[in-house]
Chains A and B, each alone.
Chain A
Amino acid sequence: IAGITQAPTSQILAAGRRMTLRCTQDMRHNAMYWYRQDLGLGLRLIHYSNTAGTTGKGEVPDGYSVSRANTDDFPLTLASAVPSQTSVYFCASSPGPGVKLFFGSGTQLSVL
């Protein structure tokens, strides 16, 4: 089934550890995004990529980095996790910038 795959589904992480959340899409969408969902704050954009080889910062980029080596993959890395990064992370893609988003099922991350 075509769509977006995120891994892991959930993770408990010790503060200070490095963690990479994986995201792969098979829809050949040009644009990809990482959001975090927090109670009372909705979905906030962390980083985005309008096309392979380019990335940009969203609303809350600090503490996160991304890469877009190819069309299908858009990993999100936390270099040194902190408890405030406890959240649900959603990867999304769209055929192009400004076109409706398709979301993955999310990664629940707890940083202790």
Chain B
Amino acid sequence: DQQVKQNSPSLSVQEGRISILNCDYTNSMFDYFLWYKKYPAEGPTFLISISSIKDKNEDGRFTVFLNKSAKHLSLHIVPSQPGDSAVYFCAAVTPNTGNQFYFGTGTSLTVIP
């Protein structure tokens, strides 16, 4: 039972344009959400997070939006750069599940120069 879902396995975007990666979750008790970026043959690295008390968090070119009523979050990358090409995982956590992180299946982003 996948509690965190990323329905788009892949996404291609032109350099300089906006990349929007989406994530849906089913557990309304999740209270902290994160995005991780993963390059081939490397471990995932933390990108940006958001608490459930906020609806937006921004860090440079990266912005995460949270819509609690829709149980949906998205990651916006503006402007997209070729170095952003990677697999992006969203993750969610709640104390109700022992503070275990639940990850989505990932979206492979390709930024075309």
Contact = CB atoms under 8 A, between A and B. Distances in A.
Interface residues of B, number: 27
B103 A44 contact: yes
Given A98-B93, A98-B95, A100-B34, A45 B101 contact: yes
A42 B43 contact: no
A105 interface: yes
B104 A42 contact: yes
Contact of B99 (A97, A104, A106): A97
A43 B103 contact: yes
A48 interface: yes
A56 interface: yes
A106 B43 contact: yes
A7 interface: no
Interface residues of A, number: 26
Interface string A28-45: 000101010000111111
Contacts of B34: 100-101
A102 interface: yes
Chain A CB within 10 Å — which of B91, B94, B100 has the most? Answer: B100
Given A42-B105, A90-B43, 9 more contacts: A35-B103, A42-B89, A48-B98, A50-B98, A97-B95, A97-B98, A101-B44, A101-B101, A103-B45
